[in-house]
Amino acid sequence: MASITTALVAHFLQSQFDGSVSDVSLIGSGMFSQAFSFTLDRQSFIIRLNACQEDFQKDAFAYQQFTSSKLPISRVIQSGRFNELYYFAITERCIGVTLNDMEPQEIEQVLPKLFDTLLAIHTLDSSDYPGWGLTDASGQGRFASWQSYLLSFYNQKFPFTWKQLIQDTFMEQEIYDKALAIILKDLEFCSSGKYWVHGDFGFGNVISDRQQITGVLDWAELLLGDYVYDIAYLEFWSEDICYKQQWQHWAKDKEIDLSLCYFEERLRCYMLHIGLKGLAIAAIRNDPEDYVQVRARIQKILDVDRSTLF
């Protein structure tokens, strides 16, 4: 998103709270949003700006439906229009830092707590919510089945077709064909159980005080589907920690009662799905550096799969 200055945000907050705001500071900027911290009446808050109002509506839904002592979610205390381009949401600030701001050894210390938090998401009751895949602001899935969602590669912020990408960008037909072939092969192993799936868990969206998980943020990618997708997301994007192996050890110790049949096939399917989505976004955004990095991750999965054939 286009950068918004701290001065502009401070002016907006002053107008909202009668001039009693202080210490406005940029704390993060991503593809779709910016986040600023500020102080109001000696309490710390976060204001986030985003062009997609539904993202904030899904945060509010998650807080209302999911928050508990096992699953800390920041309360959205105010939201609305920031200007003609962006919406805002103000939330309470969680104590701690994101996983991205922690050293690998620090993350490994809190992995059991991280997986406990993930389990709290995956064991929430989803039976009253129809549909599958990416949800809307009321928690309803947009697709008739989990498999149809996966094959759609639906992206609410970057609509595209593979034919268009391959024709008009540096997206490569060969890597798409190879990854899709394995996804199609593995689809039959994908679980028919419906779970709540965060869809963007970890990294910049989990807060920790280095002992506990103190906040789970950004529910924009909330899904109804196979919980293994969240583990695949951690594994695909991690550079320093083998989340798959760590999660398996944790699940064995905990004697987790979740469907583990065909775990490897499901994990591979979802990692390739995540990877192809990442390639599409990089191609749409004309970001060759990101494209090369994501492609390398996909190729590593393809090389492992190929090695099992011999």
* CATH at residue 65: 3.30.200.150
Task: Examine the domain organization and report whether 69 and 113 are in the same domain.
Answer: no
Q: Residue 85: pLDDT above 70?
A: yes
Can you give the pLDDT at residue 20? Answer: 86
User: What tens digit of pLDDT does each residue of 259-293 get?
Assistant: 788 999 999 999 999 999 999 999 999 999 999 99
Would residue 52 count as lying in a domain? yes
Does residue 259 or residue 252 have the better pLDDT? Answer: 252
Indicate the helix (H) or strand (E) that contains 215. Answer: strand 213-216
CB 183 within 8 A of CB 150: yes
Task: Examine the domain organization and report whether 222 and 290 are in the same domain.
Answer: yes
Task: Examine the domain organization and report whether 120 and 75 are in the same domain.
Answer: no
Q: Residue 98: pLDDT above 90?
A: yes
Q: State how far the alpha carbon of 261 is from the alpha carbons of 191, 226, 266, 304, in Å.
A: 8, 12, 9, 20
CB 89 within 8 A of CB 77: no
- Average of per-residue pLDDT across 62-78: 96
- Average of per-residue pLDDT across 90-95: 95
Task: Examine the domain organization and report whether 108 and 233 are in the same domain.
Answer: yes
Can you give the pLDDT at residue 18? Answer: 79
Would residue 210 count as lying in a domain? yes
Task: Examine the domain organization and report whether 62 and 193 are in the same domain.
Answer: no
Would residue 289 count as lying in a domain? yes
Task: Examine the domain organization and report whether 107 and 244 are in the same domain.
Answer: yes
Task: Examine the domain organization and report whether 196 and 73 are in the same domain.
Answer: no
Task: Examine the domain organization and report whether 108 and 74 are in the same domain.
Answer: no
Task: Examine the domain organization and report whether 137 and 84 are in the same domain.
Answer: no
User: What tens digit of pLDDT does each residue of 141-196 get?
Assistant: 999 999 999 999 999 999 999 999 999 999 999 999 999 999 999 999 997 799 99
Of 180, 29, 211, 47, nearest to 113 by C-alpha is 211
Task: Examine the domain organization and report whether 225 and 80 are in the same domain.
Answer: no
Going by pLDDT thresholds of 50, 70 and 90, the confidence category of residue 32 is confident
Can you give the pLDDT at residue 310? Answer: 36
Would residue 126 count as lying in a domain? yes
Tokens 């550079």 found at:
239
The span from the CA of 54 to the CA of 58, in Å, is 6
Going by pLDDT thresholds of 50, 70 and 90, the confidence category of residue 306 is low
User: What tens digit of pLDDT does each residue of 185-234 get?
Assistant: 999 999 779 999 999 999 999 999 999 999 999 999 999 999 999 999 99
Would residue 54 count as lying in a domain? yes
Going by pLDDT thresholds of 50, 70 and 90, the confidence category of residue 22 is very high
Percent of all residues in the chain with a pLDDT value above 90, rounded to a whole number: 88
Going by pLDDT thresholds of 50, 70 and 90, the confidence category of residue 72 is very high
Task: Examine the domain organization and report whether 233 and 175 are in the same domain.
Answer: yes
Task: Examine the domain organization and report whether 46 and 130 are in the same domain.
Answer: no
Provide the domain limits for residue 245.
97-307
Can you give the pLDDT at residue 76? Answer: 93
Would residue 1 count as lying in a domain? no
* Tokens read off for 273: 């799905």
Q: State how far the alpha carbon of 269 is from the alpha carbons of 150, 273, 301, in Å.
A: 9, 6, 10
Give the chain's domain count: 2
Which of 92, 113, 131 is the C-terminal boundary of a domain? 92
- Average of per-residue pLDDT across 80-105: 95
Would residue 151 count as lying in a domain? yes
Q: State how far the alpha carbon of 215 is from the alpha carbons of 16, 31, 72, 158, 218, in Å.
A: 25, 21, 5, 28, 10
Which of 53, 77, 92 is the C-terminal boundary of a domain? 92
Which of 62, 92, 122 is the C-terminal boundary of a domain? 92
Percent of all residues in the chain with a pLDDT value above 70, rounded to a whole number: 97
